[in-house]
Amino acid sequence: MTSTMDTSAAGPETARVCVGIATLGRPDQLASMIGNLARQTVTPHTIMICCTKPEDVGAVAAHPHVTVLYDQPGSSRQRNAILAALPPGTDWVVFFDDDFYPDPRWIERVDGAFRQDASVVGVTGHVVADGILGPGLGQDEALSQVAAHDPAASDYVLDAFSPYGCNMAFRCKAIEGMRFDERLVLYGWLEDRDFGARLRKRGGRLIKLGAAYGAHLGVKRGRVSGRKFGYSQVMNPVYMHRKSTMTTAQVIRQIGRNMSANLVKSFWPELYIDRRGRLVGNLIAVGDLLRLRLTPERAATL
C-alpha cells in the first residue's frame, strides 16, 4: 500500500522520545553523529548509547544529555540493553546507527506519524544515500545529500515494510516485553527484519515513511570480518525461517543473491568488501546446515 500521511506533530503535548545507538570502536564517528542530532527540530528526552568499553564512546560520555551503557558486543545485545534501560514513560524509541545522519525533521515526522495513527507501531525512514552499498560516504557528502533531497520526492507511506536497522522507531507500548534475538550475533544481519516480523504478529502497522529521511554513511571500520558475516548471510535466514520470521521464498532469494554475488565477485573483489572471506563463511554455514546444525551464534567464533 502506498499513500501519504500528514506527519506534522499533532497536539501540544511533548512525546517522550529516546534515541538509542549501539556502537563499537568508532568514537569520532559517534561524536559527529551526536553533534548532528542537535539539529533535530524535536529534541529527544534521552539519548542512550550502548558500547563495550569507554574507548568506544570517547568524549561523548561527558555530554550532558547522553546516558552511556556497557554490554558485550553485538547489535542485538546492545539494543536490548537500551530497551531494558528505557526511562519509564518513554513513548517511542528511535534506533539510529552511529553513521546515520537524519534530516533535522526526522524525529518530528516520525512523531507525527505515531500521533496521527494509533495503529502505527513501527516506522523506518527513507535512505537518500546508503554507503553500505559501496565504499561508504564521507560526512560532508552525506550531509549534502540530505540537504539536497527534495521532500516531495519521497512523500509516501509504504505499509508492511520491514524496519531497517540504521533508522527505525517503535511505539514502546507495542514492543513491551520484546527483545532483539541475541542468537543473531555481532553485526546481527537481519535482526531488524526478525524483530519487525515478530512485532507484525502482534498487530498494528509497520510503515516506511518517506518524509523521514537521512543518509547512511556505511562506515566500514568496526564491522565484522568477511568470514563471520558470510556465515550469518546463510545461517541467519535459515534460522529465521525456523522461527517463521522469513518465508521459504524469502530465504531462497536472500541466500541465493548473497552467495552468487560472493562467488562471482570473489574473482574481482571490491577493495572494501572481503568477498572471498564471505564466500568461505557461506560454505561453512552450508556445511553446518547439511549436518543439521542451526547455529547462528557460531559466527562469533569463526
Cα separation, 261 vs 250, in Å, equals: 17
pLDDT given at position 7: 52
- Does 47 share its domain with 104? yes
* Averaged pLDDT, 22-32: 94
Task: Quote the pLDDT of residue 13.
Answer: 66
Over pLDDT 90: what percentage of the chain? Answer: 85
Domain stops at, among 216, 236, 268: 216
pLDDT tens for residues 1-25?
455 555 554 444 678 999 999 999 9
* Three-state DSSP state, 141: helix
Residues 127 and 148 occupy one common structural domain: yes
Check pLDDT > 50 for residue 119: yes
Same domain, 179 and 36: yes
pLDDT computed for residue 3 by the predictor: 55
At residue 247, φ and ψ (nearest 5 deg) are -85, 165
Q: Residues 66-111: pLDDT tens digits?
A: 999 999 999 999 999 999 999 999 999 999 999 999 999 999 999 9
Cell 531494558, residue?
84
| Nine-digit cell string for 276 | 572471498
Phi-psi domain of 89 (left: phi exceeds 0; alpha: psi -120 through 50; beta: other):
left
Question: Can you give the CATH number for the domain in which 141 is found?
Answer: 3.90.550.10
Asked if the structure places residue 221 within a domain, the reply is no
Asked if 161 and 207 count as a contact pair (C-beta separation under 8 A), the reply is: yes
pLDDT digits (tens, 9 = 90+) for 255-267: 999 999 999 999 9
Residues 65 and 142 in one domain: yes
Tell whether 266 and 129 lie within a shared domain: no
- Domain tally, the chain: 2
Q: What is the pLDDT of residue 12?
A: 43
| Domain around 258 | 226-301
Residues 83 and 146 in one domain: yes
Distance CA 223, CA 8 (A): 36
Looking at residue 2, its pLDDT comes to 52
Together in a domain, 60 and 155: yes
Same domain? For 8 and 101 the reply is: yes
CA distances from 106 to 119, 183, 209 (A): 20, 31, 10
Amino acid at 204: G
pLDDT of residue 134: 83
Last residue of a domain, one of 188, 216, 244: 216
pLDDT at 176 over 70: yes
**Residue 142 predicted with pLDDT over 80:** yes
The residues near 47 (Cβ < 8 Å, ≥ 6 apart) are 18, 19, 20, 21, 34, 37, 63, 65, 66, 67
pLDDT at 221 over 80: no
CA-CA distance, 230 to 244, in Å (whole number)?
22
Q: 211: pLDDT confidence band, cut at 50, 70 and 90?
A: very high
Average pLDDT, the chain: 93
Radius of gyration of the chain (CA): 19
Q: Assess whether 209 and 264 both reside in one domain.
A: no
Mean pLDDT within 278-289: 98
In a domain, 257, yes or no: yes
Do 276 and 247 have their domain in common? yes
Number of CB atoms found within 10 A of residue 155's CB: 15
Tell whether the model's pLDDT for residue 53 goes beyond 70: yes
Clarify whether residues 25 and 70 are in a common domain: yes
